[in-house]
Chains A and B, each alone.
Chain A
Amino acid sequence: MIITAEQKDALLELINIAFGRAAASLSELTGQRVLLNVPRIVICSMKEVREHLENLIQGEVATVHQMFSGPVAGEGILLLDYGGAVLLSGLLSENRVPVDRLDQSDQEVLTEVGNILLNACLGTFGNLLEIHLSFSLPRMQVENLNPLLDSFSVDTEGVRYAMVILTTFSLRDSTVHGYLILVLAVASLDLLVQSLEKLG
């Protein structure tokens, strides 16, 4: 799917606003200053997601998945490198003893963080594009990156595209690598792009 340079600029502007909101939410939650680098956006087929991610992150990742529906529908996936997920959970947990592994309590914390960040991003889309999105219960998983990427390649639901938003955010002098993947059917991506043009 091809989008024009102007459409991509409009999308990047939308995402900057959305991520600004997400960073503010993360800062509020953690009580830490959050520095966000400029997001990079890639729109590609599901099969191509692997090549964009596999050089950036390896091994175990913590993911929060959330379905959204409405005029634009799909799945939002927040993907954090495992070390970053441990750091983030540690900042938000009552038990501040440093740990190496995420326990059930940590997973619950990260689910809520993912819920807030995904809603901050997708809700901003809804507000700016004047469409209403409904969200499912978020679901958190710790998984290896490769099986996750493999699942993207098996596109059983027709032709879908991924909008991969790559960013890193820094808090408490550490860098957490966070990626947001929005999986959309072609019709939804078309509608998103058309709605963006109306904003311009």
Chain B
Amino acid sequence: MAKILIVDDSALTRRILRRALEPAGHSVVEAEDGARGLERYSMEKPDLVILDMIMPGIEGLEVLARIREINPQARVIISTADIQTSTRAMVREAGASGFINKPVDAESLQKIVGDLLNPVS
């Protein structure tokens, strides 16, 4: 179906996301921090990115900005433990295509991914 890049410093979260995405037929590539995420984005050219907000080194919103410089149409979902509505608004303003809270619910994630990959015109 689609190639999805997961950028998250937590191996647990990467595993949870992979288990939610692969049964739906997507192929998954991973990066454990922002710098590697940017490398893999350029190398793999994924259809969609799921990006953690707070990571060591380059933080998620900075990674988002750099991905959008490479590709202004990039589809990026921010994944975060931060449940504040103010954070959701901030992430949208920063240009993210979507937002999902941890712990990630597989069904919700598949819906957001599906809506982004196949938007209803």
* Interface, chain A (partner B; CB < 8 A): 21, 25, 28-29, 92, 94, 105, 108-109, 111-113, 115-116, 118-120, 123-124, 126-127, 132-133, 135-137
Instruction: Evaluate contact between A135 and B11: CB separation under 8 angstroms.
Output: no
Determine whether B83 belongs to the interface, using a CB cutoff of 8 Å to chain A: yes
Determine whether B71 belongs to the interface, using a CB cutoff of 8 Å to chain A: no
Among the 9-residue stretches B20-28, B84-92, B111-119, the one with 4 or more Cβ atoms under 8 Å from chain A is B84-92
Instruction: Evaluate contact between B102 and A116: CB separation under 8 angstroms.
Output: yes
Instruction: Evaluate contact between B103 and A29: CB separation under 8 angstroms.
Output: yes
Cβ of B36 to closest chain A Cβ, rounded Å = 16
Contact A123 to B84, CB < 8 A, known contacts A25-B103, A28-B103, A108-B10: yes
- Complex Cα distance A29/B81, Å? 12
Instruction: Evaluate contact between B54 and A135: CB separation under 8 angstroms.
Output: yes
Instruction: Evaluate contact between B81 and A120: CB separation under 8 angstroms.
Output: yes
B interface size (C-beta, 8 A): 19
Contacts of B87 in A (CB 8 A): 123, 132
Contacts of A116 in B (CB 8 A): 81, 102-103
- Complex Cα distance A105/B11, Å? 9
Main secondary structure of the interface of B (DSSP, over half): loop
- Complex Cα distance A105/B12, Å? 9
20 interchain pairs, CB-CB under 8 A: A25-B103, A28-B103, A92-B12, A105-B11, A109-B12, A111-B10, A112-B12, A112-B13, A112-B102, A113-B12, A120-B81, A123-B82, A126-B84, A127-B84, A132-B87, A133-B84, A135-B82, A136-B54, A137-B55, A137-B56
Contacts of A132 in B (CB 8 A): 84, 86-87
Contacts of A126 in B (CB 8 A): 84, 86
Contact A112 to B10, CB < 8 A, known contacts A28-B105, A94-B15, A135-B54: yes
Cβ of A122 to closest chain B Cβ, rounded Å = 9
Q: Name B83's contact: one of A105, A108, A112, A120 (CB within 8 Å).
A: A120
Cβ of A171 to closest chain B Cβ, rounded Å = 14
Cβ of A108 to closest chain B Cβ, rounded Å = 6
- Complex Cα distance A139/B83, Å? 19
